[in-house]
Chains A and B, each alone.
Chain A
């Protein structure tokens, strides 16, 4: 039979030591920082280029149908939404460093952040896909009158088929996975929150 003091003596005997060196930490920071910035900048830049391209088509092409303009406006709005969400997420992560807060406050921040990400990845993503689909559909109406029938049928069928596959297959799988992940994460965070509650 051992008492707690004996356990502390055992603990003090341990030779376990980190294999990480302080120089590794510094070099990892430098690598992480640049790769993170490159990824963020590339995604935002690509979306911005798409935005400019669509704006160019919008102003330079003389469409006969108002639906084409409306379609392009909706697609532009989707691009803006993507860029804004990117910036908001990055700013949230950068500005709210709750690692220095009490564990309970940190857990609550993580809960809040995860909830907002969950809504972005499920509800907002659904609206985003529907809006994008609606934008393209409106844009293609004019093509119906300009292109020959065969080309038009191939184009419309391919677009609709792709939209349906995205909505009913990929998005369903994605959302289901997100929901499961979120439920597990929330349960973990709730448990931790309870553990760090001050009972006085």
Chain B
């Protein structure tokens, strides 16, 4: 049991931050992101024995996180987009600086993307290799490259629009 907890701790420390980014990008809400992160790692803990033989453990953790986020949709819908924006502002405004302002705007823009786009772009920004993103999202690499190109363009447009306001 102690050995299992040690392995789990290592996995948690290595992956939790990126998984949190994915959850935060998807929900735009700090509490919801923490809930989703907890739910994802609950599944990891439950299936730790199966994971031990996997070469790319992070891929499987991401897969669980993505599927957990997708089933979270119902709760997310209760909040209007404006509320999401307010949440993000409230969550990040503790340290008001130019950088924080930019991060806040970036999350606002991500919140305006479609669900799959939010998931893919957070993985891109966390610099996951394309083959891994393709494996996680179940989309062929060729198709994924096209999608990523489109999402990058969309997000940049949204961000620049926000900055002009």
Contact = CB atoms under 8 A, between A and B. Distances in A.
Interface residues on A, range: 35 or more
Interface in B133-165: 137-140, 142-143, 152, 155-156, 159-160, 163
B106 A10 contact: yes
Given A13-B99, A14-B103, A102 B37 contact: no
A88 interface: no
A43 interface: no
A26 B45 contact: yes
B64 A100 contact: yes
Contacts of B82: none
A4 B60 contact: no
Contacts of A200: 140, 142-143
A103 B34 contact: no
Interface string A43-79: 0000000000000000000000000000000000000
B89 to A, nearest CB: 14
A195 to B, nearest CB: 4
A106 B37 contact: no
Secondary structure dominating the interface of B:
helix
Contact of B159 (A2, A13, A16): A2
B152 A4 contact: yes
Interface residues on B, range: 35 or more
B147 to A, nearest CB: 9
28 contacts: A7-B125, A7-B155, A10-B99, A10-B106, A13-B102, A16-B20, A16-B21, A16-B24, A18-B17, A18-B37, A20-B38, A22-B16, A25-B42, A26-B5, A26-B45, A29-B42, A32-B42, A97-B47, A99-B68, A100-B60, A102-B137, A102-B138, A103-B70, A105-B138, A188-B73, A198-B139, A200-B140, A200-B142
Interface of B: 5, 8-9, 12-13, 16-17, 19-21, 24, 30, 33-34, 37-38, 41-43, 45-47, 60, 63-64, 66-68, 70-71, 73-74, 77, 92, 95, 99, 102-103, 106, 114-117, 125-127, 137-140, 142-143, 152, 155-156, 159-160, 163
Interface of A: 1-4, 7-8, 10-20, 22, 24-26, 28-29, 32, 97-107, 110, 184-185, 188, 191-192, 195-196, 198-200
